[in-house]
Amino acid sequence: MQVKSFLATVAVAACFTSSAFAQAPIVIKFSHVVATDTPKGQAAARFKQLAEKATNGRVKVEVYPNSQLYKDKEELEALQLGAVQMLAPSLAKFGPLGVKEFEVFDLPYIFPTKQALYNVTEGPIGRSLLKKLEPKGITGLAYWDNGFKVMSANKPLNTPTDFRGLKMRIQSSKVLDAQMRALGANPQVLAFSEVYQALQTGVVDGTENPPSNMYTQKMHEVQKYGTLSNHGYLGYAVIVNKKFWDGLPADIRTALEGAMRETTTYEKAISQRDNDLALEAMKKSGRTQFTTLNAQQQAEWKKALLPVQKQMESRIGADLINAINKEGVK
Ligand code: LMR
């Protein structure tokens, strides 16, 4: 009798365990540092929706926005360790990982238009850059767009001389460091989650970001002036832990690749509009006064900043810089 009930218990337990295994979804933790109502935040939410649908719920995507789980540098370490499976760091944040070539996206005036950017991100140059992540245990899936950056501070920034001596927050990119130095400013690397407070308390005087980030982090409340200088670009690479990705069942990986393609199309379609709306909202708030540069001022900015392209050749590679510049004149 005892043996019989023991066997029955084992059978029930085995049944329960196997069905629990059969149903346990594959979890993708997707961590990012921006607000949910930015182009990246909305795309992460859309990917969750599309991925879960395409896999009939066999994959569950948990999105952690706003540096809730990790800040900039920590999130890359967490991905490599497998604590999270997916990220979309800005292209300015891959240098510390040892993939300096991504800093090419930070070069002043490297993309004269969005089309020049797409020629790179949707072509062979973009693909070969993503390949460089593999030895780091990372697979690159896509590029997501944000926009051209606005310079901001509590004084007008019309000419390079206006930057002299200002402490400017930058992302962890040597190109951005060189850019700020070329303007006579003192660059300071800070995690994105710390920028608002640093601006508010005067730890730094100014910064740069596309309008969508500036607005959703409320930087316009603590920056009196913004210059629509279009001097530089901010975008993202969507990346996954390679071991995790390679270990997925093939049908799941194919479904997720499809969901990522669809999300990327969506993201590209909303990014400009989102930035336009954010700029409008900031203008309406009256907290920040935005200016555009006249032809003379634009020439002065270019004179100060274009030499950074040459200066960074030894770090990034002259061939890569030249190849990207060629995409801009196609
Ligand atoms: C920043 O750190 O300034 C931005 O790159 C944050 C982001 O991911 O958009």
How much of the chain exceeds pLDDT 70, in percent? 93
Instruction: Compute the distance from residue 199 Cα to the ligand 1 centre, in Å.
Output: 15
Task: Report the 3 state secondary structure along the chain.
Answer: CHHHHHHHHHHHHHHHHHHHHHHCCEEEEEECCCCCCCHHHHHHHHHHHHHHHHCCCCEEEEEECCCCCCCHHHHHHHHHHCCCCEECCEHHHCHHHCCHHHHHHHCCCCCCCHHHHHHHHCCHHHHHHHHCCHHHCEEEEEEEEEEECEEEECCCCCCHHHHCCCEEEECCCHHHHHHHHHCCCEEEECCHHHHHHHHHHCCCCEEEECHHHHHHCCHHHCCCEEEECCCCEEEEEEEEEHHHHHCCCHHHHHHHHHHHHHHHHHHHHHHHHHHHHHHHHHHHHCCCEEEECCHHHHHHHHHHHCHHHHHCHHHHCHHHHHHHHHHHCC
Ligand 1 test: best mutation among 30, 72, 91, 150, most atoms within 8 Å of CB?
72
How much of the chain exceeds pLDDT 90, in percent? 92
Residue 3 pLDDT greater than 70, yes or no: no
Which residue minimizes the CA distance to atom 3 of ligand 1? Answer: 192
| pLDDT for 330 | 74
Our answer on whether the CB atom of 87 is closer than 6 Å to any ligand 1 atom is no
- In sequence order, the 6+-apart residues with CB closer than 8 A to the CB of 313 are 321
Instruction: Compute the distance from residue 137 Cα to the ligand 1 centre, in Å.
Output: 22
Instruction: Supply the pTM of this predicted model.
Output: 0.92
| pLDDT for 290 | 98
CATH class of 26-328: alpha beta
Tokens coding 114: 């969005």
Instruction: Compute the distance from residue 90 Cα to the ligand 1 centre, in Å.
Output: 6
Instruction: Compute the distance from residue 192 Cα to the ligand 1 centre, in Å.
Output: 6
| pLDDT for 15 | 45
More confident residue, 210 or 19: 210
- Buried b / exposed e over 68-77, threshold 16 CB at 10 Å, is ebbebebbbe
Residue 18 pLDDT greater than 50, yes or no: no
Instruction: Compute the distance from residue 37 Cα to the ligand 1 centre, in Å.
Output: 14
Q: Tell me the pairing of strands 138-148 and 150-153.
A: unpaired
**Is the distance from CB of 232 to CB of 197 less than 8 angstroms?**
no
| pLDDT for 234 | 98
| pLDDT for 291 | 98
Render pLDDT for 130-169 as a digit per residue (tens, 0 to 9): 999 999 999 999 999 999 999 999 999 999 999 999 999 9
Our answer on whether the CB atom of 209 is closer than 6 Å to any ligand 1 atom is yes
Q: How far apart are CA 191 and CA 170, in angstroms?
A: 9
